[in-house]
Structure 1
Amino acid sequence: MQYTFDFGPVVAAWPMLLSGAVQTLKMSAVSMVFGLSLGILFMMMRMSRMKPLRMLAIGYIELIRNTPFLVQVFFIYFGMPSLGIRLGGEEAAVLAMTLNCAAYAAEIVRGGVQSIRPGQIEAGRALGLNTIDIYRFIVFRPAIRAVYPALCSQFILMMLNSSLVASVSAEELTYVAQTLDAQTFRSFEIYFVLGAIYLLLSQFFSIVLQFVGRTYFSYPAK
């Protein structure tokens, strides 16, 4: 059986694929920002001396990290309407990605915070820094610097996992590819190009995150 390759339909549909790629980037960027912020909050709860807060954070982190991302998406999109909360496909996707990212970010950042020696905090107090400045410059910034490569890997993985939200009709890149496949039946060509686009998006995310790391988390030049 011979197969005739024809990338014409894929090339003709490049505006749709470009729109899907941009939507994937937007959803991933929003989820990354909110996920990291929420992750830091859960990390603080996880390390709190208050047992209820600590147990709540542990329960959330373990629940998210030990259940499939697709199940989490389905629960938010199909399960929450039973509680009277209805979200669109893209809204449910961003919420699921944010909550998923937060659980992993919380544990990654916690590892960085635990690497900070108590003596450094005491030195900050000796210098007259207030609590906010101590946590900003002595705790969080060095902690995130230490675990930044792991955070970057998690963010890129989250972007790739966004392909699963096509199952709830979120109009991102994979959803567009599935629509084109149903219209043209050129599965090999479409998913070959789809894989190449995801590879480019991963490289783009990597370059942007490396720039952010050099700008905000690199050590001062000697």
Structure 2
Amino acid sequence: MSYKFDFEFLAERWPDFVAGAWLTIQLTVLSIALGFLVGTLCALARVYGGPVLRRLAGGYVEIIRNTPLLIQIFIVYFGLSSLGLKLSAEVSAVLALTINMGAYTTEIMRAGIESIQRTQLEAADCLGLTRLQTILHVVLLPAMERVYPSLGSQGVLLMLASSITSQISAEELTATANLVQSDTYRSFEVYVIVAVVYLALSALYRLGFWAIGLILFERRRRLGTPL
């Protein structure tokens, strides 16, 4: 094997990798937050909503979970543009990732909500809590605590899947890698670097979810298992 590794280009191109990683973080953090909101609302609709809401939420989940993320991104970016709504690559990426995250979060949160025992709801009624107070304090927070590891893992998976947004020219980490390797012709070295960066980002996201778990869940904080 005569191949010689050459990472000299990194001295000049490292700002590009930093910029790409930063955009990846921005896109995915926003998508995770919005996706969690969408998923939680859809989960509540599936559990407590009427027949129409349940069917709509269920159809949304089935459509998104059974189609490729790449196709969803193309539909948002090219489809909306064909209808006259032109969005930037970054906005389209956030919208598509949010829709995707929302569908998976719906099923995760639904499992958590359905795990709440009926006796807890009856106790909330006896205490005179309103329906909104019951949902917020008796249902949502305990449900989120029970499924939090799954939510964290889904967030990390979404961050890794965000590499697909390079296909619509969103200048995140993978798009940056494609540009650098086309300029330097050092494909092997470039993608090794990107793999290391994604590993670091995965560790950073897990650390972030761990810290959020410490803040949100007192019981997990006492047990030392926030994630």
* Length-normalised TM-score, structure 1: 0.96
Distance 1:27 1:49, change over 3 A: closer
The answer to which of 125-134 and 164-173 deviates more is: 125-134
After TM superposition, the structure 1 = structure 2 runs for residues 177-192 of structure 1, keeping only pairs within 5 Å, are 177-192=177-192
1:62 alignment partner in structure 2? 62
The 8 Å contact of residues 61 and 103 in structure 2, kept in 1 or not, is answered as yes
The 8 Å contact of residues 10 and 189 in structure 1, kept in 2 or not, is answered as no
The 8 Å contact of residues 109 and 143 in structure 1, kept in 2 or not, is answered as yes
The 8 Å contact of residues 177 and 191 in structure 2, kept in 1 or not, is answered as yes
Q: Distance in 2 between matches of 1:164 and 1:215?
A: 32
1:43 alignment partner in structure 2? 43
The structural deviation recorded for 1:221 is 4.1
The answer to which of 200-209 and 75-84 deviates more is: 75-84
Q: Which amino acid aligns with 1:6?
A: D
The structural deviation recorded for 1:82 is 1.8
Q: Distance in 2 between matches of 1:75 and 1:108?
A: 25
The structural deviation recorded for 1:72 is 0.5
- 2:9 aligned counterpart, secondary structure: helix
Number of equivalent positions: 222
* Length-normalised TM-score, structure 2: 0.94
The structural deviation recorded for 1:10 is 2.3
Superposed CA RMSD in Å reads 1.3
- 1:8 aligned counterpart, secondary structure: coil
Q: Which amino acid aligns with 1:33?
A: A
- 1:129 aligned counterpart, secondary structure: coil
Deviating beyond 3 angstroms after TM superposition, the runs of 4 or more aligned structure 1 residues are: none
The structural deviation recorded for 1:167 is 0.4
2:202 alignment partner in structure 1? 202
The structural deviation recorded for 1:44 is 1.7
After TM superposition, the structure 1 = structure 2 runs for residues 10-25 of structure 1, keeping only pairs within 5 Å, are 10-25=10-25
- 1:170 aligned counterpart, secondary structure: coil
2:122 alignment partner in structure 1? 122
The structural deviation recorded for 1:62 is 0.3
Higher relative contact order (CA 8 A, sep 6+): 1
Residue 112 (str. 1) matches residue 129 (str. 2): no
Structure 2: gaps of 5 or more residues: none
Q: Which amino acid aligns with 2:110?
A: R
